[in-house]
């Protein structure tokens, strides 16, 4: 008895996050209209495998950076953000600030090469008490439970100096990564001042940017006062999701946590996980909908059931009610009684669907 064949369609995805019809710009020319919102992205660890929510795989990180470049985003530092608040007309049309907390070695080995290859930079928040002078003194993340089950080495001072010389902004993340809102005043001052002084001694320049460990204390005026007394001018939060505006609170600048979930391949069922929608909540999305599937034999008659080896034509229709987009449409055919087998036939086509 010959076997029947079932038809399945299914994969509809953006061909790439970088092919929608939204125009790209260089991001380097001054513009007259000031930007109101700036995405500040928060990362921790980038490596070959994303072990937990605090990791992003190197491959995905590279694709995320490619997507930013494709849409004309230009990386700026937090010091530059401060200057642009005073002269907003000089801000790039699409600025983005990339930050890394804690100071892990994989910034040096994984993230930095991706950024440098694309002409991009980042701000690195260093927990100075976890940084050794050489390889023998390199510390691990055994302090960071429960994520310490996935070992991550910290940077050492020669690597931090090298990153600074290559254009990466270096900023403070305290000495020992404590929740500041649980410390007495004397300990808060020590954490803020000692970390800044250590970084300034290493870098040979003033350090005025800060990140709250765990985001704790970002909502406390008394800790804002300690930061100002210690010589800081700006501090970033680690909790609320939001974009930084030109009038945002300088002691609690909002950031966007980026994880392995924030893919550059749009799944229309979960648009909140689309990386570019994360960076820009107004980013235009397509609305691709399946229309119909029609299978016919060579004589034009409908083919509901076909035999293996029989020649048929398949017509699939889709509509797009959203932003124009390139999509990949995949058609797969399986034998009905061997659903776990590899497809009997498979074809993927790329189409540009306009609204």
Task: Check: CB of residue 75 under 8 Å from CB of residue 96.
Answer: yes
pLDDT value of residue 303? 81
pLDDT value of residue 339? 57
Distance CA 339, CA 333 (A): 10
Q: pLDDT for 235-258, tens place per residue?
A: 999 877 899 999 999 999 999 999
pLDDT value of residue 312? 82
What is the reported pTM? 0.82
Confidence of residue 267 (pLDDT cuts 50, 70, 90): confident
- Does domain 23-265 match CATH 3.40.50.1980? no
Distance CA 1, CA 19 (A): 47
Instruction: Give me the residue spans of the domains in the chain.
Output: 5-12+285-353, 23-265
Position 24 pLDDT exceeds 50: no
Task: Check: CB of residue 349 under 8 Å from CB of residue 9.
Answer: no
Distance CA 138, CA 157 (A): 10
Cβ atoms within 10 Å, residue 214 = 15
Task: Check: CB of residue 123 under 8 Å from CB of residue 99.
Answer: yes
Distance CA 178, CA 168 (A): 25
Average pLDDT of the chain to the nearest whole number? 87
DSSP string, 140-204: BSTTSTTGGGS--BBPBHHHHHHHHHTT-EEEE--SS---GGGS-HHHHHHHHHHHHHHHHHHHS
Position 7 pLDDT exceeds 70: no
Position 14 pLDDT exceeds 60: no
Q: pLDDT for 129-156, tens place per residue?
A: 999 999 999 999 999 999 999 999 999 9
């Amino acid at each position: 008895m010959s076997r029947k064949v079932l038809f399945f369609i299914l994969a509809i995805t953006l061909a790439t996050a970088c092919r929608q019809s939204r125009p790209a710009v260089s991001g380097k020319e001054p513009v007259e209209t000031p930007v109101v919102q700036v995405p500040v992205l928060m990362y921790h660890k980038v490596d070959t495998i994303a072990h937990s929510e605090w990791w992003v795989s190197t491959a995905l990180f590279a694709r995320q950076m490619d997507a930013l470049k494709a849409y004309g985003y230009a990386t700026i530092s937090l010091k530059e953000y401060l200057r642009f608040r005073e002269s907003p007309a000089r801000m790039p049309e699409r600025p983005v600030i990339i930050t890394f907390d804690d100071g892990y070695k994989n910034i040096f080995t994984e993230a930095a090469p991706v950024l440098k290859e694309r002409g991009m930079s980042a701000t690195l928040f260093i927990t100075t008490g976890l940084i050794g002078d050489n390889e023998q003194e390199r510390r691990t993340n055994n302090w960071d439970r429960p994520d310490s089950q996935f070992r991550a080495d910290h940077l050492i001072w020669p690597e931090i100096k090298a990153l600074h010389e290559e254009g990466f902004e270096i900023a403070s993340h305290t000495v020992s990564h404590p929740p500041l809102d649980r410390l007495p005043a004397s300990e808060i001052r020590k954490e803020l001042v000692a970390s800044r002084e250590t970084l300034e001694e290493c870098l040979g320049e003033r350090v005025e940017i800060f990140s709250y460990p765990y985001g704790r204390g970002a909502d406390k005026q008394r800790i804002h006062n300690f930061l100002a007394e210690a010589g800081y001018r700006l501090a970033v939060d680690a909790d609320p999701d939001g974009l930084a505006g030109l009038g945002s609170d300088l002691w609690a600048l909002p950031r966007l946590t980026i994880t392995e979930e924030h893919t550059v391949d749009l799944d229309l069922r979960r648009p909140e996980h689309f990386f570019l929608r994360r960076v820009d909540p107004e980013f235009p999305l397509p609305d691709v909908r399946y229309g119909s599937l029609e299978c016919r034999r060579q004589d034009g008659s409908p083919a509901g059931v076909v035999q293996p080896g029989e020649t048929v034509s398949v017509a699939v229709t889709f509509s797009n009610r959203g932003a124009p987009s390139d999509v990949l449409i995949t058609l797969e055919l399986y034998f009905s009684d061997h659903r776990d087998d590899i497809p009997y036939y498979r074809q993927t086509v790329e189409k540009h669907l306009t609204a």
